[in-house]
A and B are shown apart, each in its own frame.
Chain A
Amino acid sequence: MKSVLLRLVPTLLALAWGSGHAALDSPFLASRVASGELPVLAERLPEEPAVAELHGDSSAGKHGGTMRLIFGASKDIRMMMVYGYARLVGYNRELELTPDILRDFEVEDDRVFTFHIRRGHRWSDGEPFTSEDFRYFWEDVASNEDLYPFGPPNELMVDGKRPRFEVLDRWTVRYTWDAPNPFLLPALAGPRPLFIYAPAHYLKQFHADYNEPEKMAAKVDEAGTRNWAGLHTRHNHPYRFDNINLPVLQPWINTTEMPAERFVFVRNPYYHRVDAAGLQLPYIDQVTIQITSSSLVSAKTASGESDLQGRHLNLEDYTFLKQGESRGNYRVRLWENGYGSQYALYPNMNSNDPTWRALTRQSDFRRALSLGTDRGEINQVIYSGLAREAGNSVLPGCSLYREEYAKKWAEYDPDRANAMLDALGLDQRDAKGTRLMADGRPLEIILHTAGEGTQETDILELIGESWAKLGIKLFTRPSQREVFRERVFSGEAMMAMFNGIDNGMPTADMSPGEFAPTAQTQYQWPVWGQYHETNQKVGEPPELETARDLLDLYKLWSLSGNRDERAEIWHQMLSIYSDEVFSIGLVCGVPQPIVVNTRLMNVPEQGTYSWEPTSFFGIYRPDTFWFQ
């Protein structure tokens, strides 16, 4: 019955367009349609558009309006790729993977992935989106040694082997691996999605295989890049939104060239989603983005300059934002933050300092630091007691949560911590009571943060006080994020403070990669992470047995085709990670203020604000938000 209905929907919709398509199209595009610059709506939509499902608290809307956002740096316009959330497959609110850009997809044993493209789907410039775009990416981009010198992206490789790629017809492609590839679909649905397609019709002009060598050389010369690969890459950063000519499939497309202080995004006339009544989404015609200093965002938001703001706001702004509610015509909602820990400390086990490096690799040292941190005080002083004191692990409400993960080594017990430090041979102290390391230097930790506000330094001041009771001196060095990363990667930083794990609400089908050395941006083991990330080309293999165990488990997970087995592996990893305290989590579940214009509809009252898996607002589908 259901399938019959589903099949009927497109027919019904087609009938609806036949009768009065003008009413279904946004008036914003009317003049361009009238002048013949754009085809009528029925010709712009795929034959079977995606129909947005509206949740209990949302309502069908109408076209129009401009949504204003504020970001702290012009490169943040990439957030429009996160918020826009048009993905080949995407998460719904229950965090299940559903087809979105794709009409449908089939998976056999996690090995064979067949993707069905919507017939008649078009890029934002009106050119058809077909299997040629997948072929172009796979054969001409990912497999090209100039463009991808280290081989195709990690998520497309299983055991270092490439998939067999087939074009079944103009609307169907298939990827086949010999072993399971559980990374592919989550990567496609992520906040920074894996792009396995590219607008071939546009990018071919920059590709050496499709141009005569002389012409190519002339183009490269003109652009001033080192080679044709640089030229191609420069024009193909779909995530960054920095090339206004690059065709995309997102709900809104950028019309402002970098650099700018104000960006205007307009609706994509060829977007593939419609609402139940057949109105093409997004409801909102334009999105304008104001770039300002991140410290001014709360002030500007409070004066009503933003219609939807979560970025650069935090709990300490809540009172102030609440005061401005009536003046600024907005409401403040409190969503839950999805970080595994609001902030976590990462002892750099790849530090350049051999004494310190040896120390951080001792489990008991990390445990003692964690035991000697007074989380209760941080919660009370900084978060008014609204957060939860816990280690850096998954959050309650997630199917993988167990209390022991959150509580392990996370209680405040300075006596035990001191005893553990003494047992580690750190029992010598200098005149000021600071412990001495094995080489006689005092145990002074310089902690690097990428902090912009005072919150991080306040937390560190509190931690510094509780660590002083352990005989450890803490110095804080705030720097810009790029500098901060560089210092951690190079081993110059002894310890780093950053957000806890990004995805605090994983399911067993999501990658446990954050709990194993798999990426350079894991600040406790950047070099080991880099080793995995670059397929053993750069970096070093993990030298710590427990870290190796985590990596092995992670690989085991990736080979497993069974959901229960995956959950079991997840639990093993979570248990090791918490017990070894590879990162020292502080508090989690910090409420996140979300400012929503009173006229902006369909933004949920409650939600999880996180990078993964919700892509901030992404899975709540901003293309269905509308202005009353």
Chain B
Amino acid sequence: MTTETDEESGHYVSREPFDPRSIEQIAAGQESYFLASRRRLIWWKLKRHRLAVWCGFILLLMYGSVLISEWIAPYYYQTRNSGAIYSPPQRIHLFHQGEFIGPFVYGHDFQLNMENLQREYVPNPDKVEKLRFFCSGDPYRFWNAIPMDFHFICPAEGKTMYLLGTDRLGRDLFSRIVYGARISLLIGLGGIAVSLFLGLLLGGIAGYFGGWADSLIQRMTEIIRSFPELPLWMSLSAILPVTWSPLLVFFGITVILGMLDWTGLARAVRSKLLALREEDYTVAARLMGASSGRIIRRHLLPGFSSHIIASATLSIPGMILGETALSFLGLGLRPPITSWGVLLNEAQNINVVALYPWLILPVVPVIVIILAFNFFGDGLRDAADPYK
């Protein structure tokens, strides 16, 4: 590098043409990193969180299944089979006596043990019942509207296939879990939508305008937060009229869950706004005469949207657990509507634990979805502030 002293000023002046990379060479990848948009950065950071990615994938699968529950479930969720009450799960086999015949189940021989009145099902190796795929089975109304009878998988004609066993009325547990997912998962999304709307609105008002509006909303938040959650849920859901259709009850529960959950979100929004509105760029925008709406939308919202999404994701499992808890206590959704909580409610019985343990299986999807949401939310939260 050639530098020489400027005669007049006495400063060193480089006569070389300016090269910004003269100090540190930046690789091509690095350049794209520095120039990448915020959204892209979040995505990159999230991608590095392997667990979060897997969990996101699971969530995608589960929520995807909700769209086509009717096709996935081999039975309609209310189909009863009086001949298969408390039938244990039937295993899928591929080989029969060493010979490959594709997926099939062994038919069950049923007998009532008169000694202890137990219903005994024994797989009969002579009854090879090949499963059918892309078949027609139990009729249903797709999305409660279009009459169809298509299923991805069905038992052999006139035979049974209970992958996770049946309950005390002879209903297929697997189908009920699949249908239950629709309610349990949507209630989380619905509840968070209500909560997000209220949280953004009230938190936004409190944070941006401050003053008496802030105080009012803060006190309201404190009062709501000071109620013990479960009893409040319970009393609110107890007043839902019994004649409401199951669908209406479902919306009622969603709104109840959302209405009590917005406080945390509102606080987060408020504190974030309080910080951001003092930032120089906000002050600059205000001095330049931008309207409140524009400042909130263009300057503040992008500043905390990722954070909000992350914390919303983290509170969905709370909603799902809330519904499960309510239904488990018999105060939430009521049969014939089926959610995982309803299924667990029906399994809270010593006989189930001792004799029909497969009926506790709805716990598994609950655990999976809760963990998935938590890990995914964790990853999202880490990724939400990519400049850190």
Residues of A participating in the B interface, judged by any CB pair closer than 8 Å: 295-296, 298-299, 302, 315-320, 322-323, 377, 380-381, 384-386, 444, 446, 453-454, 457-458, 461-462, 475, 477-478
Contacts and interface: CB of A to CB of B under 8 A. Distances in A.
Contacts of A385: 112
Chain A residues touching B, majority SS: helix
Contacts of B346: 454
Given A319-B116, A381-B85, A298 B170 contact: no
Interface residues of B, number: 24
Chain B residues touching A, majority SS: loop
Contact of B350 (A320, A446, A478): A320
Contacts of A380: 82
A317 B243 contact: no
B132 to A, nearest CB: 27
A432 B119 CA distance: 37
Nearest to B83: A380
Interface in B69-101: 80, 82, 85
B117 interface: yes
A612 B141 CA distance: 50
Contact of B117 (A315, A377, A381, A475): A315
B169 A444 contact: no
User: Which 5 interchain pairs have the tightest Cβ spacing?
Assistant: A322-B116, A299-B350, A319-B118, A320-B351, A318-B117
Contacts of A318: 116-117
A380 B330 CA distance: 26
30 contacts: A295-B348, A295-B349, A298-B350, A302-B350, A318-B116, A319-B116, A319-B118, A320-B354, A322-B116, A322-B117, A322-B118, A323-B116, A323-B355, A380-B82, A381-B80, A381-B82, A381-B168, A384-B112, A384-B117, A384-B119, A385-B112, A386-B117, A444-B243, A446-B242, A454-B168, A454-B346, A454-B349, A457-B335, A462-B169, A475-B242
Interface string B115-129: 111110000000000
- Residue in B112, B348, B351 with the greatest tally of chain A CB atoms within 10 Å: B351
- Residue in B112, B119, B242, B346 with the greatest tally of chain A CB atoms within 10 Å: B242
A446 B334 CA distance: 14
Interface of B: 80, 82, 85, 112, 115-119, 168-170, 242-243, 330, 335-336, 346, 348-351, 354-355
A381 B350 CA distance: 19
A333 to B, nearest CB: 13
Contacts of A323: 116, 354-355
Contact of B351 (A298, A462, A477): A298
A458 B169 contact: yes
Contacts of A319: 116-118, 351, 355
Nearest to B350: A299
Nearest to A325: B116
Contacts of B115: 322
B171 to A, nearest CB: 10
A298 B85 CA distance: 21
Nearest to B336: A461
A110 to B, nearest CB: 46
A285 to B, nearest CB: 31
A464 B266 CA distance: 45
